[in-house]
C-alpha cells in the first residue's frame, strides 16, 4: 500500500459516495487508474464494504451501554455458543474478546433504560454460559471516529 492508496482510503472513509471522477481528482490520478486501485483495495480486503452513517438517536436508540461479561468457564463449547448467540442479537452492535478479569466487552444500543432491562431479562440473560454481566451507561459521546488514522 503506497501513499496514493492511503489517500484513496482516507477519502473513501470521509465520503464513500464520492464518484470515481471526484476521487481521482482528489488523489491526483486519472479516473481509470484510480478505479483500478479502488478495485485492488477491495480485492485485497482493505476495503470490506460501504455503509451509511445512521443517526442513532433519530432512530430511537439513544442509549449506549457497555456490557462486560465473564463466562462460567473458558471452554471452547461455551465460547462458541456465546459468540453464536451474540451474533443473533441485533441490540449488540459491537463485541470484543478482551484480556483481564472479564472475557467480553459489548456495546449495546437501546431506546431507554426499560428497553435495555427488557433486553437483558428476556434475551441476553438466557444465553448459556454467562457467569456475570456488568453494565456501564454512557452519558454521551466524546469522540466517535468512523475512519482509521491512515
pTM value surpassing 0.85: yes
Q: What 3-state DSSP class applies to 128?
A: coil
pLDDT digits over 86-124, tens only? Answer: 999 999 999 999 999 999 999 999 999 999 999 999 999
The number of domains in the chain is: 2
CA–CA gap between residue 88 and residue 98 (Å, rounded): 20
pLDDT, average across residues 70-89: 96
Q: Are residues 67 and 27 in the same domain?
A: no
- For residue 79, what is its C-alpha cell? 465460547
For the beta carbon of residue 27, count every other beta carbon within 10 angstroms. 20
Q: Give the residue numbers spanning the domain of 86.
A: 63-137
115 found inside a domain: yes
pLDDT computed for residue 145 by the predictor:
87
Amino acid at each position: 500500500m503506497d501513499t496514493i492508496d492511503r489517500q484513496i482510503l482516507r477519502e473513501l472513509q470521509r465520503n464513500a459516495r464520492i464518484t470515481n471522477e471526484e476521487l481521482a481528482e482528489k488523489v491526483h490520478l486519472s479516473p481509470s487508474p484510480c478505479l483500478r486501485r479502488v478495485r485492488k483495495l477491495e480485492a485485497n480486503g482493505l476495503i470490506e464494504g460501504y455503509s451509511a452513517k445512521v443517526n442513532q438517536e433519530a432512530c430511537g436508540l439513544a442509549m449506549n451501554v457497555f456490557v462486560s461479561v465473564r463466562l462460567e468457564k473458558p471452554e471452547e463449547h461455551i465460547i462458541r455458543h456465546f459468540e453464536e448467540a451474540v451474533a443473533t442479537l441485533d441490540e449488540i452492535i459491537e463485541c470484543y474478546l478482551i484480556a483481564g478479569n472479564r472475557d467480553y466487552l459489548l456495546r449495546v444500543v437501546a431506546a431507554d433504560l426499560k428497553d435495555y432491562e427488557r433486553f437483558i431479562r428476556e434475551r441476553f440473560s438466557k444465553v448459556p454460559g454467562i457467569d456475570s454481566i456488568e453494565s456501564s451507561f454512557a452519558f454521551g459521546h466524546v469522540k466517535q471516529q468512523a475512519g482509521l488514522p491512515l
